[in-house]
Amino acid sequence: MILGHEKVSFLHLPTPLEYMPSVSKDMGINFYVKRDDLTGFGTGGNKLRKLEYFLYEAQQQGATALVTVGGPQTNHGRLTAAVAAKFGMKCTIVAVGEYPGEISANILLDRIMGCEVYLVQQDGDATEEELEARAVKETMDKYIAQGDKPYFIPMGGSNALGCCGYYECAMEITKQCEEQGIENPRIICTVGSEGTYMGLFIGLKDTKSPVKLTGVAISPSHEPDAQARAKKYFDECKEYFGLDWDAAKEDFDITLKYHCGAYNNPVKEVREAIYYMGRKEGLIFDPCYTGKCFYGIREMVKNGEIKPGENIIFVHTGGVAGINGPAHRPLMQEELMDGMIIKAPAK
Ligand SMILES: Cc1ncc(COP(=O)(O)O)c(C=O)c1O
């Protein structure tokens, strides 16, 4: 139970907090990874923690279907599909976007798990928000008309209730730091729809944890004032949970410096960060979230925003399916051909 909210426990928690020796030595810091890519099923990732709480509420309401929204390659949608499959529910992901000409990456996994993917096409004059809202209503109505009870989960699972998942993760990390003797640690996580960051923020402050927190925005949607946006989200959570403490705008440490200009865009430096981690530690990051954030971490080490010897805890939020998406895989293929040996063996 977190802040009075119950969940359906379907994860094996806590996830490991692992030290990365080669990267630490090379970067001159102590680099730890909180392995939230290992959260159980659907190929894992951060959203399963939030979904434990959504599923409880959905079950309380007698829901038989889950409906959510995101980009066509949404990881959150893929994990919603996984939860729906595991708990015998129907599922639809609504996404505004073109059909990329192939069923790959997350969309492939969605379909393997039996989830419907509704790709909403432009009709000329409506905004993306309008198109999405219309398609969600149509989907909810369709479920109701066929006798189902749909439960709607917002983009990225990022409302107040979704924060419970990362509140719990904040407590895990604090305990693991104590157990492993990690002094003065700082968590660094990606900031997308922000539920991960906000859950960690509230969890750390509410439990008076000494662990610090920095967020790396992965898209310009947090501009111009990421702190103001975070404060607004915090205020919603404060009211929802009835928190008896406040946070100031300045308390939110979120950098806008490493979003690389767009959401899920292919970026050479991000791919290089992915190759670096793969080759040093055998750990796979994705181009949209974890790879971009790790690119930011490498820059922060270079420019002194991360101090030599600092204890950094990176939250691996999953998303590895993204490397197989049409925006990224062909570019990686070009760059990685150099290690392909395609010929008959020498006699
Ligand atoms: C793999 C991955 N990492 C990080 C995030 C960001 O989490 P949040 O949306 O809670 O900020 C997402 C969000 O979809 C994600 O899929």
Q: What are phi and psi of 56, to 5 degrees?
A: -60, -50
170, part of any domain: yes
CB 105 near ligand 1, within 6 Å: no
347/332 Cα distance (integer angstroms): 32
Residue 8 lies in a domain: no
Please tell me whether residues 192 and 135 are part of one structural domain: no
Residue nearest atom 5 in ligand 1 by C-alpha distance: 192
Q: Is 191 in the pocket of ligand 1 (CB under 6 A)?
A: yes
DSSP characters for 48-65?
HHHHHHHHHHHHHTT--E
Give yes or no: residues 21 and 126 share one domain. no
Compute, in angstroms, the gap from residue 317 CA to the centroid of ligand 1: 7
pLDDT score, position 243 = 98
pLDDT in tens, 250-260: 999 999 999 99
Task: Calculate what percentage of the chain has a pLDDT beyond 90.
Answer: 98
Q: 74 and 168 in contact (C-beta within 8 Å)?
A: no
The predicted pLDDT at position 191 comes to: 98
The answer to whether position 116 is within a domain reads: yes
pLDDT in tens, 38-69: 998 999 999 999 999 999 999 999 999 999 99
pLDDT band, very low/low/confident/very high, at 299 (cuts 50, 70, 90): very high
Predicted confidence at residue 193, as pLDDT, reads 97
Q: Is the CB of 159 under 6 A from ligand 1?
A: no
- Ligand 1 atom closest to the Cα of residue 50 is 10
Q: Are residues 146 and 56 in the same domain?
A: yes
Distance from the alpha carbon of residue 259 to the mean position of ligand 1, in angstroms:
13
- Residue 289: CB within 6 Å of ligand 1? yes
Q: Identify the H or E element spanning 274.
A: helix 268-281
Query: How many angstroms separate the alpha carbon of residue 323 from the centre of ligand 1?
Result: 15
Percent of the chain's residues with pLDDT above 70:
100
pLDDT for the residue numbered 209: 98
**132 and 204, same structural domain?**
no
CA of 338 to the centre of ligand 1 (A): 32
Element (H, E) at 91: strand 90-96
Supply the pTM of this predicted model. Answer: 0.97
Residue 155: how many CB atoms within 10 A of its CB?
A: 17
Domain boundary residue, one of 104, 122, 157: 157
Å from CA of 318 to ligand 1 middle: 8
Which residue lies with its CA nearest to atom 6 of ligand 1? 192
Query: Is there a single domain that holds both residue 198 and residue 284?
Result: yes
207, 237: one domain: yes
Closest CA to 33 of 306, 256, 313: 313
Looking at the domain assignment, is residue 282 inside a domain? yes
Rg (Cα) of the chain, in Å, rounded? Answer: 20
- Ligand 1 centre and the CA of 18: distance in Å? 20
Q: Are residues 233 and 164 in the same domain?
A: yes
The verdict on the CB of residue 156 being under 6 Å from ligand 1 is: yes
80 pocket-lining for ligand 1 (C-beta < 6 Å): no
Q: 38 and 176: one domain? A: yes
Q: How many domains does the chain divide into?
A: 2
- 192 CB near ligand 1 (under 6 Å): yes
Same domain, 186 and 133: no
CB 73 less than 6 A from any atom of ligand 1: no
- Tell me: the pLDDT tens digits for 193-222? 999 999 999 999 999 999 999 999 999 999
Q: How many angstroms is it from 65 CA to the middle of ligand 1? A: 23
State pLDDT tens for residues 136-174. Answer: 999 999 999 999 999 999 999 999 999 999 999 999 999
Cα-to-centroid distance, 156 and ligand 1 (Å): 7
Question: Residue 174 domain-assigned?
Answer: yes
State if residue 199 touches ligand 1 by the CB under 6 angstroms criterion: no
Q: Residue 102: give the domain boundaries.
A: 47-157
* Edge-to-edge strand list for the sheet holding 90-96: 116-120, 90-96, 65-69, 150-153
Cβ atoms within 10 Å of 25's Cβ, excluding its own? 12
What pLDDT score does 124 carry? Answer: 82
In 160-225, alpha helices (H):
163-180, 195-206
pLDDT band of residue 122 (cuts 50, 70, 90) is: confident
Assess if residue 92 is contained within a domain: yes
Ligand 1 neighbour 34 (Cβ under 6 A):
no
DSSP code, position 237: H
For 319-347, how does the pLDDT look when each residue is reduced to its tens digit (9 = 90+)? 999 999 999 999 999 999 999 999 999 99
Q: Is the CB of 325 under 6 A from ligand 1?
A: no
Ligand 1 centroid to Cα of residue 294, in Å, is 14
Distance 344 CA to ligand 1 centre (A): 44
Q: What is the mean pLDDT of the chain?
A: 97
* Cβ(287) – ligand 1 distance below 6 Å: no
Tell whether the model's pLDDT for residue 3 goes beyond 90: yes
